[in-house]
Amino acid sequence: MNAIILAGEKKGDNSNGLENKALLKIHDRYMIDYVIDSVKKVPQIGKIAVVGEKDHLVPALGNKADYIIQGTDSIVNNILLALELFPQDKEILVLTCDIPMITPEALEHFIENAREKNVDLCYSIVDKSINDEKYPEVKRTYAKLREGQFTGGNVFYFRPEIKDRCKDFIDEMLKYRKNPAKMARTLGIIFLIKLLLGILTIDAIKKKCDTLLNINAGVVISPYPEIGNDVDKISDLELVEKYLSAY
């Protein structure tokens, strides 16, 4: 399988100063360098395509990625553009550039479990207790489900054959991956009510996706909190710098 790394820049006013997260420096290395290095160490992955502002990424990355292509303002369109590079692929891994603590082990675990589930689309989530144990200072947005409290990950597995029927839905899920309430609204008001009550189940979400999109969806509960610890604000960057100090 091949991997797509989303490295688009945020446009417009951003008080956090994190418009171009891919090229933020962490200990004199670009943030995206950490992600690429981990992806390269995953034996299941062949080539890497980075999608973003090509004029900025090419000078910074050189030949670290197999492909660097110009992106758009749409996450899903960027994925579709990258998929054109891999027309024969039966499965694709998609991840964001802002998870510099991601490890090869975390990616391998996710890929292996997604494959075992034999699904068309798979999403990663992390239990709050796992994140709190390893990174107690890190604050994330959590959804309370019947099985526990979970935050969304930044890694996705899917089979390109479903892209046309799922592109609008995937766009919304990617856009709202850190906003459980909006994700629930996309899936229906009943889901929102159940979410607010903390009685929504992971299996119910899966079945809803299956019905809406006529696919076999899946969720991997990752024991690796790095898969969900993205850099959205300056405080996140400071914590990442602390934990990567020994890199």
- Percentage, residues of the chain above pLDDT 90: 63
Rg (CA), the chain: 17
Structure tokens at 12: 């417009």
pLDDT tens-digit series, residues 10-41 = 665 444 556 789 999 999 999 999 999 999 99
| 202-213 vs 163-175: helix crossing angle, rounded to 10 | 140
pLDDT at 88: 94
State the amino acid at position 74 in one-letter form: S
More confident residue, 140 or 181: 140
pLDDT at 15: 44
pTM for this entry: 0.89
DSSP structural state of residue 230: -
Where residue 245 falls (left for φ over 0; alpha for ψ -120 to 50; beta otherwise) is alpha
Mean pLDDT of 98-106: 97
Structure tokens at 193: 């009510």
Where residue 27 falls (left for φ over 0; alpha for ψ -120 to 50; beta otherwise) is left
Q: Could you tell me the CA-to-CA distances from 25 to 9, 21, 79, 135, 209 in Å, in that order?
A: 15, 9, 25, 21, 38
State the amino acid at position 109 in one-letter form: H
Structure tokens at 86: 């891999």
Q: Could you tell me the CA-to-CA distances from 237 to 66, 117, 120 in Å, in that order?
A: 27, 34, 33
Q: Is residue 233 pLDDT above 90, yes or no? A: no
Indicate the range of 3-17, 33-47, 83-97 predicted with least confidence. 3-17
Backbone angles phi, psi at 214, to 5 degrees: 55, 50
Mean pLDDT of 175-186: 68
How far is Cα of residue 171 from the mean position of the Cα atoms in its chain?
12
Burial label, 32 (beta-carbon count in 10 A; 0-12, 13-18, 19+): buried
Q: Is residue 246 pLDDT above 60, yes or no? A: no
What is the rounded CA–CA span in Å between residue 65 and residue 26?
Answer: 19
pLDDT at 9: 77
pLDDT tier for residue 108 given thresholds of 50, 70 and 90: very high
Beta strands in 159-243 (DSSP E): 217-222
